[in-house]
């Protein structure tokens, strides 16, 4: 389609920071960050992580404890992540928040360097084996309160790109997803190279959980979920009240 990509693979908060700095034309980002970038970026319909049962888990270093004291510390995977937004939405002013790279959260809980952690990605499947305590599934709470799937992150592009370029980027992402869904073994070498967990069964659990019909196309359900996220982020002051709505790119 006449496109050339220079790829970078970095931590989600680094992605958010670099996107704020204007370093990327197209990037995966947390929908929390996307809400704050809505003036300058547009959401592509394909490539999002959105669904039921996909939410971050609030875990504890000590079984049975609840976040209820400012002397306690909760680890979050980045200031602008949707995981951090959810923790602040459901546990406002409950503990101190410390932002660290997502892959450091469970090791820091195991070594008792923090009281709680909001865990994402493969940690959803491995926390019990790590001997950590379960506090709450933040995604389940979101679903209960909104009746919407949880929008975690998606692919955004600069509004300054031409419609033709945006349409071609969207088509490439859509087609690559369809190819990977038809040939599930094709992405495995790349997944093994970059994943924090090297067990193929866990990697495919990750795919089965986070890659779904809304990943291929956000559709009306995805649009409604993003509106819910925007309204709730504004209600606790994490996004300005006058921030523009997220716009989803339409190729036609």
Residue 149 phi/psi, 5-degree rounding, is -65, 155
Domains of the chain: 12-51+148-235 (3.40.190.10), 57-146 (3.40.190.10)
Residue 63 pLDDT > 90: no
- Residues with catalytic roles: 121
Residue 1 pLDDT > 80: no
Instruction: Please answer whether residues 51 and 210 qualify as being in contact, where contact means their C-beta atoms are separated by less than 8 angstroms.
Output: yes
Q: Please report the pLDDT score of residue 197 as a whole number.
A: 67
Q: What percent of the chain has pLDDT over 70?
A: 98
Residue 23 pLDDT > 80: yes
List the structure tokens of 211: 């890659």
List the structure tokens of 68: 């209820």
Angle among Cα 32, 34, 36 to the nearest 5 degrees reads 80
Query: Taking Cα atoms as reference points, which of 35, 90, 111 lies closest to residue 100?
Result: 111
pLDDT digits (tens, 9 = 90+) for 179-234: 999 999 999 998 888 886 668 888 888 888 889 999 999 999 999 999 999 999 99
Q: What is the pLDDT of the chain when averaged over all its residues? A: 92
Q: Please report the pLDDT score of residue 97 as a whole number.
A: 96
């Amino acid at each position: 389609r006449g496109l050339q990509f220079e790829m970078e693979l970095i931590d989600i908060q680094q992605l958010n920071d670099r996107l704020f700095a204007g370093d990327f034309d197209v990037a995966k980002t947390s929908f929390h960050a996307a809400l704050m970038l809505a003036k300058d970026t547009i959401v592509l319909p394909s490539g999002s992580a959105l669904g039921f049962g996909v939410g971050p888990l609030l875990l504890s270093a000590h079984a049975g404890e609840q976040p209820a004291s400012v002397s306690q510390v909760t680890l979050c995977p980045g200031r602008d992540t949707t995981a951090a937004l959810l923790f602040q939405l459901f546990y406002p002013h409950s503990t101190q928040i410390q932002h660290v790279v997502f892959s450091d959260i469970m090791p820091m809980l195991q070594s008792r360097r923090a009281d709680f952690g909001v865990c994402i990605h493969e940690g959803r499947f491995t926390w019990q084996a790590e001997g950590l305590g379960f506090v709450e599934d933040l995604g389940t709470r979101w679903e209960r309160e909104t009746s919407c799937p949880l929008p975690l992150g998606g692919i955004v592009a600069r509004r300054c790109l031409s419609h033709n370029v945006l349409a071609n980027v969207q088509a490439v992402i859509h087609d690559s997803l369809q190819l990977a869904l038809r040939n599930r073994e094709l992405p495995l070498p790349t997944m093994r190279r970059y994943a924090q967990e090297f067990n193929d069964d866990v990697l495919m659990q990750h795919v089965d959980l986070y890659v779904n019909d809304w990943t291929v196309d956000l559709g009306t359900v995805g649009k409604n979920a993003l509106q819910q996220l925007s309204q709730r982020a504004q209600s606790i002051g994490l996004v300005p009240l006058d921030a523009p709505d997220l716009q989803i790119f339409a190729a036609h």
